[in-house]
A and B are shown apart, each in its own frame.
Chain A
Amino acid sequence: MAKITLNLISGRTIHQGVAMEGGKEKDLYRKAAGIIEMDDSDFKKLGCWKNTNVRVTSPYGTVIVKAQETSQGPHPGVGFIPMGPWANQIVNPNTYSTGMPTFKGVPVEVEVAMDQPIILGVELVQKACRGEL
């Protein structure tokens, strides 16, 4: 199966904001933040349909999210996961002595993982902390 390399950034979307205030244990939060927004050209390179579950892996971890066509593009080569527990499984925790982790600019690999589930936000963090992922 094909793999592509992207430069990952994370950040706010209004959908993530609304879902977060509506309850991080809810399904809406997973739908809003358990996603990766990718450019159309990157979908073609990966060879997968839009709205397919994918595994995103960085040197710091791995996570399953839904690949969606970006609404704020084009941005070929750049992947965007809204801020939240899914993005934070794979961001670079190094602060380089500034106190600030490197949330933007993380090299990641994306591959299709159609049969893998996207875990709810609170559960994802609990499982990660218990070492069950």
Chain B
Amino acid sequence: MTKTVTDVVCPFCGTLCDDLEVSVTDDGKQILDVYNACAIGAEKFLHSQAKDRITRPRLQQPDGTWKDISYDEAADYTAKMLAGAKKPLMYGWSSVNCEAQSVGNEIAETCRACVDNTAAVCHGTTLIAVQDIGLPTCTLGEVKNRADTIIFWGCNPCHAHPRHMSRYSIFPRGFFTGKGHKSRKLVVVDPRVTDTAKMADMHLQVTQGQDYELLNAFRVAIRNEWLPDVVAGIPKEKIIEAVTMMKAGRFGIIFFGMGVTQSLGKNHNIDEAIAVTKDLNEYTKFSIMPMRGHYNVTGSGEVLAWQFGYPYSVDLTRGFPRYNPGDTSSIDLLNRGEIDAAFVIGSDPGAHFPISAVKKISQVNSVCVDPHITPTSGVSKLHVPVAFNGVETGGNAYRMDNVPIDCRKVVDAPEGMLTDEQFLVMVRDRVKKLKGVA
């Protein structure tokens, strides 16, 4: 016999789908199947059941082999490393629940560490732009019920947020959008003809790296001013047509992704996208929302902001929080070789940082807290496997529209395994003893 756990929250992307159903064995120890999830979400649940999973902390030996140690020994090693370091980096936090993030921040404050989350390689530049000029945004519920003009700019939800379109932005029949996708217009701006672009009413195949120019042309077109014949590879007639479509809607939204945050221009691209949104509000209701990647990267930003005042790239080395992306951000700290210890949790910089930064992690004392074997764990001195958040433990997470949702525990973790939070509490208590803090 099996039983079904309903209303499960998916801990993969920022869409944070909360309608999954997971069938488990009667004793609640094993996942059998996952329903309603996308391919990536389902794989996340099913991979937690892998027979070759690492279940105990392991220390890398000089010859590259691994030696199993206990969680107590792992916590001792981590606490000594963090307490003894002059400028430790505590990076990741985006696949970790808010409760654990808060414990981590306590450790960071005690050790005077630099704390950063995966916004560093994702929507960090968005956060800078939001601090520059604000963010007229809304919730995904409002998108579902009201939005009739959807713009995907530099993002490809078909691949990166596979259920975003079916749950919120294109297909659902909302209160004022009763005809589903028939009542919505879709514009996609992307240098490739992505699978999302293939569905669009209009695809603007912008020249890669010229998003700023095109966004600026949108602002000019909104004001009915003179435009050159072609901007960023797009003929002016098409720009005017797109803007006319955007002005004609009753409620529009721009979703944007890595295409604008990671291309040259960076935060200024987002500045301009937000300014387009502001300008469109002279004619109709328009919102803008970043397509956040990790399931709780938004939560990490929230927790850091309410505890230290800044959403990422926080430097506590002087005993008080400082924030200056470019100076206090992980990639720059690593590339400049300023870090003397690296603590990585709930993310994989080994796979997703430029290799020059990864090399710097491999050259210092390092701890990787992650249920998977990853390139980061492969180059770390200590690998601490933990329970899967959102699968083997619950906890709070923030959706991409800043709505907090409590995740559900579906099955037990393998016997003897700790959660992130439990391990962090062990480290925190040891760090406080080493530092002589009560």
Specify whether A and B are partners.
Answer: yes
Q: A20 CA to B372 CA in the complex, in Å?
A: 10
Q: A54 CA to B356 CA in the complex, in Å?
A: 22
Q: A43 CA to B209 CA in the complex, in Å?
A: 23
Query: Which residues of A are found within 8 Å of B216, using beta-carbon distances?
Result: none
Interface positions of B from 54 to 82, Cβ below 8 Å from A: 64
B238 part of interface (Cβ distance < 8 Å): no
Whether the pair B160, A60 counts as a contact (CB closer than 8 A) is no
Query: Please, what's the 1-or-0 string for B142-176, where 1 marks a CB less than 8 Å from any CB in chain A?
Result: 00000000000000101110100000000000000
Query: Which residues of A are found within 8 Å of B194, using beta-carbon distances?
Result: 72
Q: A125 CA to B375 CA in the complex, in Å?
A: 6
Query: Which residues of B are found within 8 Å of A17, using beta-carbon distances?
Result: 12, 39-40, 43, 159-160
Query: Which residues of A are found within 8 Å of B267, using beta-carbon distances?
Result: 98
A117 part of interface (Cβ distance < 8 Å): no
Interface positions of B from 239 to 293, Cβ below 8 Å from A: 258-259, 261-264, 266-267
Interface positions of A from 87 to 110, Cβ below 8 Å from B: 88-89, 91-93, 95-105
Whether the pair B355, A88 counts as a contact (CB closer than 8 A) is yes
Query: Which residues of B are found within 8 Å of A122, using beta-carbon distances?
Result: 350, 373-375, 377-378
A18 part of interface (Cβ distance < 8 Å): yes
Query: Which residues of A are found within 8 Å of B47, using beta-carbon distances?
Result: 21-23
* With A7-B208, A105-B264 as contacts: A128 and B358 at CB distance below 8 Å: yes
CB contact between A121 and one of B38, B39, B329, B351 (< 8 Å): that residue: B351
In the complex, the chain A residue whose C-beta lies closest to that of B361 is: A129
Query: Which residues of A are found within 8 Å of B309, using beta-carbon distances?
Result: none
Q: A37 CB to closest chain B CB, in angstroms?
A: 9
* With A11-B258, A103-B258, A129-B362 as contacts: A74 and B356 at CB distance below 8 Å: no
Query: Which residues of A are found within 8 Å of B160, using beta-carbon distances?
Result: 11-12, 14, 17
CB contact between A105 and one of B158, B263, B312, B357 (< 8 Å): that residue: B263
CB contact between B379 and one of A12, A102, A129 (< 8 Å): that residue: A129
Whether the pair A12, B159 counts as a contact (CB closer than 8 A) is yes
Which one of B119-127, B177-185, B296-304, B412-420 contacts A?
B119-127
Residues of B near any A CB (own CB < 8 A): 12, 38-40, 43-44, 47, 50, 64, 120-121, 124-125, 128, 156, 158-160, 162, 191-195, 197, 205, 208-209, 258-259, 261-264, 266-267, 312-313, 325-327, 329-332, 335, 348, 350-359, 362-363, 372-375, 377-379
Residues of A near any B CB (own CB < 8 A): 7, 9, 11-14, 17-18, 20-25, 60-61, 70-75, 78, 80, 83-85, 88-89, 91-93, 95-105, 121-126, 128-130
